[in-house]
Amino acid sequence: MLTLPRKNLLAGLFCILLGAFIAWRGRSYGIGTLEAPDPGFFPVALGTILFLCGVGLSIGALKQPDVGVELNLRPYLLIPAALVLFAVTIDRFGLIPSVALVTIVATLSLRGHSLRAVLFLTCCMIALVYVVFVLMLSMPLKPFMWRP
């Protein structure tokens, strides 16, 4: 495990940077007025709110004592790996095996799950994804296929 000092300060600085970027980019679309907002009004408003929240979070973090926080790298590695795994397997194996693999890899990112809980979550995700994307949205996804 790595330790990360002042986790809230880093999160606040990230919010400041992201909020400033969003507000800056939103200005290029035009802001308009409250009565007639242009397309950039919403991004500028949200970016400004995110910026101000980041300032508040950073100030609050500076007032607290510096305590190291353990950083678990497992979720940061396995969640992106699950997304890449889905992109690689959806066209080769079909929807159901891809969703099963992604769910299993994603649940491995956290500790303390029993095999029964992982299998139950996997079955629920397969059913939910199939119902939403294939049955309700009529997306042309094959449940199973084999393409080496």
Highest mean pLDDT among 2-16, 68-82, 107-121: 107-121
Which of 5-14, 19-28, 67-76 is modeled with the greatest confidence? 19-28
**Helices within the chain (DSSP H only):** 7-26, 41-63, 74-93, 95-107, 115-129
Mean pLDDT of 5-14: 80
What pLDDT shows up at residue 30?
A: 85
pLDDT for position 1: 47
- Comparing 26-40, 58-72, 106-120, the range with the smallest average pLDDT is 58-72
The whole-number pLDDT of residue 2 equals: 47
% of the chain residues with pLDDT over 90: 55
- State the chain's maximal CA–CA distance in angstroms: 58
Summarize the confidence of residues 36-46 as an average pLDDT. 90
pTM for the model:
0.56
* Half-sphere exposure (Cβ direction) of 72: Cα atoms closer than 13 Å: 8
